[in-house]
Amino acid sequence: MELDDTDLRILKMIQGDAKFPLEKMADILRIPKSTIAYRIKKMEKSGIIRGYFTSIDPSSIKLDYVIISLVKAKYGKDYHDILGKKLSELPGVWGVYFVLGDNDFIVMGRYKTREDFMKNYLERLMDMPEIERTNTQVVAKTIKETPYVVIENILNPDNK
Amino acid sequence: MELDDTDLRILKMIQGDAKFPLEKMADILRIPKSTIAYRIKKMEKSGIIRGYFTSIDPSSIKLDYVIISLVKAKYGKDYHDILGKKLSELPGVWGVYFVLGDNDFIVMGRYKTREDFMKNYLERLMDMPEIERTNTQVVAKTIKETPYVVIENILNPDNK
DNA sequence: TCTGAAATCAGAATGGT
DNA sequence: ACCATTCTGATTTCAGA
């Protein structure tokens, strides 16, 4: 499905506020709210809109031990497929990226304590025979984390 | 603010579906919907709930060039502060983590093309005098990306 | 802090263009 | 595909426990 400028403007308004009222959008874009509703439904059906989520402050539920791991798999396609799956099923892991370069996987996770991290992450990682080596880094500070913000500049010439 | 079991159950329901109806929650938890509303409002005010977001499929808007950078700053506190800020202001960057270990920053970004990436990210990175060295990896496949899912197992004994 | 009922408002459904 | 109207149901408000 092709997105026109109106679709992008709608997406920009709802990406940071899932409950942005149709009426306000209608006022801003100067088109009827039933049209906005119609377009949003279409984007939901086509998979452009993947869902509506609530962002919860991780530290409010004591998830203060944030880690990022660089993982190198042993050579062979099977190893990669199996390892990718295994990593993404670890408790606390919210991101797994298969990358080209020195490493194979970059893994993002959140844990309550060092003990929680050791038990539920690191020890399980040690048990994976598909791994060649790992390098895990502790996040001292999250400076920015806005994974849902995708549309930054609507008037980007590349969109034309 | 202290979260009890009911709060956590509410959060678990809305984290993956911001529009989960109060009435359904009331049925499941067997408490009145006005109480659910009251508790959600409280969590919004106290900052536990940071907002409601729409997840947009990045590839639907042609953001197919996904990168992760490892950045090492030159020594000195000022360098770190300035660099963290500069990195988080780069277009396309959605995540910046200050980490302990071999690197100082891990930077997550999304771009339309290699050219877009070169122009808006890499070339600007090259211009930052605070940087000692960088190592940028291209994401071949995003295996998992669920940053909003924070509460995995409500019945975790650690919560008690 | 919690609850029930009433009032308000937003979103879904409809049908016509 | 678009839009005006109608209808349904979810959220907000408020008084009382």
Q: What is the DSSP string of B36-72?
A: HHHHHHHHHHTTSEEEEEEEE-GGGGT--EEEEEEEE
Question: Which residue has 């959060």 as its token pair?
Answer: B11
Q: Which of A129, A13, A140 is nearest to A64 (CA)?
A: A140
B55 has a chain A CB within 8 A of its CB: yes
Of the partner residues A58, A97, A135, the one whose CB lies closest to the CB of residue B102 = A135
Contact A54 B135 (CB under 8 A): no
Whether B149 sits with its Cβ under 7 A from any strand D atom: the answer reads: no
pLDDT above 90 (res A44)? yes
Query: What amino acid is encoded at A127 in this protein?
Result: D
CB A121 within 8 A of CB A67: yes
Residue B135 CA to D11 C1' — how many Å?
49
A3 has a chain B CB within 8 A of its CB: yes
The pLDDT, as a whole number, for residue B71 is 97
In CATH, B5-54 is 3.40.50.150: no
Say how far apart CA B120 and CA B2 lie, in whole Å. 43
Give tens-digit pLDDT for B92-133.
Answer: 999 999 999 889 999 999 999 999 999 999 999 999 999 999
Whether A35 sits with its Cβ under 7 A from any strand D atom: the answer reads: yes
**Band of pLDDT at residue A15, cut at 50, 70 and 90:** very high
The protein residue nearest nucleotide D5, judged by CA to C1', is A34
Burial (CB count <10 Å: 0-12, 13-18, 19+), residue A67: buried
Say how far apart CA A104 and CA A77 lie, in whole Å. 12
A58-138 has which fold?
Alpha-Beta Plaits (3.30.70)
Residue, of B39 and A156, whose pLDDT is higher:
B39
pLDDT above 80 (res B66)? yes
Q: Which of A49, A8, A143 is nearest to B93 (CA)?
A: A143
Q: Which of B129, B125, B128, B84 is nearest to B104 (CA)?
A: B84
Residue B108 CA to D6 C1' — how many Å?
47
pLDDT above 60 (res B158)? no
Whether A61 sits with its Cβ under 7 A from any strand C atom: the answer reads: no
Q: Where do the structural domains in chain A lie, given as residue ranges?
A: 5-54, 58-138
Whether B32 sits with its Cβ under 7 A from any strand C atom: the answer reads: yes
- CA distances to A20, B59, B93 from B64, rounded to whole Å, are 27, 5, 14
Whether A34 sits with its Cβ under 7 A from any strand D atom: the answer reads: yes
CB B146 within 8 A of CB A56: no
A84 has a chain B CB within 8 A of its CB: yes
The protein residue nearest nucleotide D14, judged by CA to C1', is B34
Pairing of strands A105-111, A65-73: antiparallel
Q: Whose C1' is closest to the CA of B36: which nucleotide?
A: C2
Q: How far is CA B113 from the centre of its chain?
A: 23
pLDDT above 80 (res A45)? yes
pLDDT above 70 (res A2)? yes
Residue A56 CA to D2 C1' — how many Å?
38
Partners of B3 on chain A (C-beta within 8 Å) are 60-61
**Cα Rg of chain B, angstroms:** 20
Give tens-digit pLDDT for A46-77.
Answer: 999 999 999 999 999 999 999 999 999 999 88
Q: Write down the pTM of the prediction.
A: 0.93
Report the percent of chain B where pLDDT is more than 90. Answer: 88
